[in-house]
Structure 1
Amino acid sequence: MSHEPGADELRMKAILKKHRVGPDNWWEPAETPFAEDTPDAEPDDVTPDEDDEDDEEPTGRFTPQPGYWPRPHTPAIVDRVRDRAPAAISPATRRFFYNASAAGAGWLLGLYGKFAWALDDCGREQGIGATIVLGAASTMLIAHVWDRRTRHWWPGIAWAARIPLATALLALALWAPAAT
């Protein structure tokens, strides 16, 4: 069963070739069997412009064309909202809400209780100095090992990754040695 290309197939192939899109721009076979049948095909005796010679790229078997892959972009509404947001809330206020909401999430998840228990237990057994060292060391360890590696993640996931550090800082800030 032989496949003869129809008029629509030849027309679309010529349009794609004209716009330098499709597999024909990566791999050129030794002869193109349908090139002479297309109505929009350029004749072989046409000489290229002098400017085209400078712009020619090395054509290999699998040379990708620059305009083939789509370039994703954010919608215009997102850019407009993002441009107005800094005027509405100062960066320091945004940082405060970011970290406070992460600490609040740690409180709701029960992570605060575990940090507070560790600090309280260390304060009863070893003293105030050891508790401050424990709190500062654990906060620095979380910041160094976990938080600094998750800051570049997508904002929602980065916020969730900030929960342990914000909760440890909250537990250290709320620890009151004279309350027990």
Structure 2
Amino acid sequence: MGETTPGADELRMRAILKKRGVGPAAGPVEDWWEPKGTPPAEEPDEEERPAPFTPQPDYWPRPHVPEVLTRPGVRMQAAIAPGTRRLLYNASAAAAGWGLGLYQQFAHAIADCGQQTSIGGAIVLGVGATILIAHVWDRRTRHWWPGNAWVARIPLATAILAVALWAPAAP
């Protein structure tokens, strides 16, 4: 086997690679982003250069236990506003009272009192019943577990709904 002479393409590729700093006979690398005529940037000493592929201290997030688990008594911030949460809590309790038939009983009692006595008597009955339920029942059940407190809120929310929807001038 004899030695072959390189072709024109191979010679051209060798020249391109040599110009780019590839191979044993390569010359100095010309950086395309640096303007011509400026001296190449000095490289830092080997001791100062960080090891390759070493993450910086603040680059990766550090896993940690959530604060709710480490400090008892700390509550997470709610996803919805407190006013919206309060509205949904009370509206759902009133809707449950409507579904259980409590609304019809309250509304009938208020309407009957309005027919038997007067509109003022019906208002006193509705507001008085609401205050009585709030004072005797609701304020004593607020500290219960949230599911039980919601069930205990149904009578008060239903009474407020019955008073709010009562229309004395309706036929």
TM-score (normalizing by structure 2): 0.56
Q: 2:76 aligns with which of 60, 77, 83?
A: 83
Identity %: 69
Q: 2:89 aligns with which of 94, 98, 123?
A: 98
**Structure-1 residue corresponding to 2:106:** 115
Quick check: which one's helix share is greater?
Answer: 1
**Structure-1 residue corresponding to 2:128:** 137
- In structure 1, distance between residues paired with 2:105 and 2:76: 40
Give the greater-gyration-radius structure (CA). 2
- In structure 2, distance between residues paired with 1:160 and 1:132: 26
Q: Could you report, residue by residue, the CA deviation over 1:53-97 in whole angstroms, capped at 9, with x for unpaired residues?
A: xxxxxxxxxxxxxxxxxxxxxx84xx9xx5242xx2111110000
Kindly provide the amino acid, as one letter, of the partner of residue 133 in structure 1: V
Question: Would you say 1:155 and 2:146 are equivalent positions?
Answer: yes
- In structure 1, distance between residues paired with 2:110 and 2:76: 43
How many residue pairs align between the two structures? Answer: 102
Give 5+ residue unaligned stretches, structure 1. Answer: 1-74
Instruction: Return the structure number with greater relative CO, CA threshold 8 A, min gap 6.
Output: 1
TM-score (normalizing by structure 1): 0.54
- In structure 2, distance between residues paired with 1:120 and 1:154: 35
The CA RMSD measured in Å over matched residues stands at 2.0
Displacement after TM superposition at 1:127 (Å) = 1.1
Displacement after TM superposition at 1:137 (Å) = 0.4
3-state secondary structure, aligned to 1:115: helix
- In structure 2, distance between residues paired with 1:84 and 1:115: 37
Displacement after TM superposition at 1:167 (Å) = 0.1
